[in-house]
Amino acid sequence: MNETAIKAEGLSKLYRISHLAKQKTIRDAVHHGMRLLWRRLRWKAQLNREEFWAVRDVSFEVKPGEIVGIIGRNGAGKSTLLKLLSRITDPTAGRITLRGRVASLLEVGTGFHPELTGRDNIYLNGAIHGLRRSEIRQKFDQIVEFAEIGQFLDTQVKRYSSGMYVRLAFAVAAHLEPDVLIVDEVLAVGDAAFQKKCLGKIREVSTERGRSVLFVSHNLSSVRQLCTRAILLEKGSVVADGLPGAAIAAYMRRDGTKVDIRHIAGDGAARITALKVAGAEAVSPIFGEMRIEIQYEARAPAGSLEFFILIYADDGECVAASFQTDSSQRVAAGSGGGTISVSFRNPFAPGRYLVSAGIFDAYRQFHDWVEFAESFEVIPGFADGRAFDQRLGRVSLQAQWSP
């Protein structure tokens, strides 16, 4: 009875990128054609074309009841893989076997029409995902209850707050009851409480009903919490496949070599332009003084800002957080940009750590969130010169001991 729900064999997707960008108009196509012809005539047979394997020779199996996280950098092929599995685009090579009904949720609220009411959109969205009218009618009350939109059911969706919009969209998706659910990064939006509810729903779908879930996220801690397995993609190929902790650790090790700014959320009205641990080598002993500097720029629409940092151990677990308003004031509106610094006494056990930082607006909605943009090393020793004593604990408290 342990049939596979998803089986991918040698799956590949090739994109051809013409150097003259994409020939979106006839003029471009004619121009491109003439250039190729000219090159041929001059015996330069090189076709001016670049091939790019977005997904290359990927094979894996997913069993019913598994929740598989797919992680990897931007451009590693995660989204293309999901598009292949959800039949949005055709593979160049390879084969996919899907057992049962597949629902893919690559975006929240696909096909929502702003002019229609919440009620109409529930039916429309259900139909887009392949539900029958009778099935939607059956689940209608559950969907409305889950979305918590009650009295706004007959209001046009364009008048909804973004939170309500996301809630309604996810509610429909959560009640599709597919055999295979494919979810892409959709939980990056919405408030924390609702995110939690969604994760709970995904878990329930999987464990109680034996459905398979494929889950792409930049948020490694939700992958760690939710998934029973994780697959790490790099340049379109699988480089790790196993327990989430192991895959995440592999990701962090590979990822740490190249530290760059990667924006994973936010509207960009204020952006982090650089994140740096002060000091030449970014190494620190336990209880050593540390300072993290965040450079940012803000555009006019951004109001007052609140910064935060998150520190991750190299197995992907977020081990510490600090928010600006814990000990200081928000940055007033109209600052335009500048540098914010965070100082603390390093409590972490020896090892490598990655730093993420972000900016909230006045309602704690993201302006920006950069992940793993800086790393530092904690050396096995204390700031006062003592050697590391192999103690347990991820952090050492600087506590007051009385006799």
Q: Which of 213, 383, 385 is nearest to 396 (CA)?
A: 383
Shortest distance in whole angstroms from residue 168 CB to other proteins: 16
Cβ closer to other proteins: 98 or 220? 98
Residue 133 in the binding site for other proteins (CB under 8 A):
yes
- Here's the x/- map for other proteins, 173-212, by CB under 8 A: it reads as ------x---------------------------------
Cβ closer to other proteins: 114 or 268? 114
Token pair belonging to 327: 């000990």
Cβ closer to other proteins: 70 or 286? 70
Please work out, in degrees rounded to the nearest 5, the angle formed at the alpha carbon of residue 267 by the alpha carbons of 261 and 273.
30
Cβ closer to other proteins: 101 or 196? 101
Per CB under 8 A, the list member of 18, 39, 65, 106 interacting with other proteins is 106
Residue 33: left if φ>0, alpha if ψ -120 to 50, beta else—which one?
alpha
Cβ closer to other proteins: 29 or 395? 29
- Segment interacting with other proteins (CB under 8 A) among 110-118, 223-231, 338-346, 379-387: 110-118
Q: Where in 287-365 does DSSP place strands (E)? A: 289-298, 306-313, 318-323, 337-345, 351-360
Strand pairing class (366-382; 270-277): unpaired
Per CB under 8 A, the list member of 1, 24, 281, 387 interacting with other proteins is 24
User: Contact 173/103 with Cβ under 8 angstroms?
Assistant: yes
By three-state DSSP, how is residue 169 classified? helix
Token pair belonging to 309: 């940092």
Token pair belonging to 111: 């096909």
Per CB under 8 A, the list member of 18, 20, 29, 396 interacting with other proteins is 29
- Segment interacting with other proteins (CB under 8 A) among 132-140, 143-151, 203-211, 260-268: 132-140
Please work out, in degrees rounded to the nearest 5, the angle formed at the alpha carbon of residue 232 by the alpha carbons of 65 and 216.
55
Burial string for 35-59 (b: 16+ CB within 10 Å, else e) reads ebeeeeeeeeeeeeeeeebbbbebe
By three-state DSSP, how is residue 165 classified? helix
Per CB under 8 A, the list member of 18, 53, 61, 96 interacting with other proteins is 96
Per CB under 8 A, the list member of 59, 92, 228, 365 interacting with other proteins is 92
By three-state DSSP, how is residue 111 classified? coil
**Cβ neighbour number for residue 72 with a 10 Å cutoff:** 25
Secondary structure letter of residue 186 according to DSSP: G
Distance in angstroms (rounded) separating the CA atoms of residues 264 and 219 = 9
- Segment interacting with other proteins (CB under 8 A) among 129-137, 255-263, 374-382, 395-403: 129-137
Shortest distance in whole angstroms from residue 179 CB to other proteins: 7
Shortest distance in whole angstroms from residue 183 CB to other proteins: 12
Residue 35 in the binding site for other proteins (CB under 8 A):
no
Token pair belonging to 299: 């555009």
Secondary structure letter of residue 185 according to DSSP: S
Shortest distance in whole angstroms from residue 7 CB to other proteins: 9
Shortest distance in whole angstroms from residue 94 CB to other proteins: 6
User: Contact 59/238 with Cβ under 8 angstroms?
Assistant: yes
Residue 31 in the binding site for other proteins (CB under 8 A):
no
**Stretch 4-23 residues interacting with other proteins (CB under 8 A):** 12, 15, 22
Per CB under 8 A, the list member of 76, 84, 238, 277 interacting with other proteins is 84
Residue 90 in the binding site for other proteins (CB under 8 A):
yes
Interface residue list for other proteins (CB under 8 A):
3, 12, 15, 22, 24-27, 29, 83-84, 86-102, 104, 106-107, 110-111, 113, 115-116, 120, 123-124, 127-130, 132-133, 135, 179
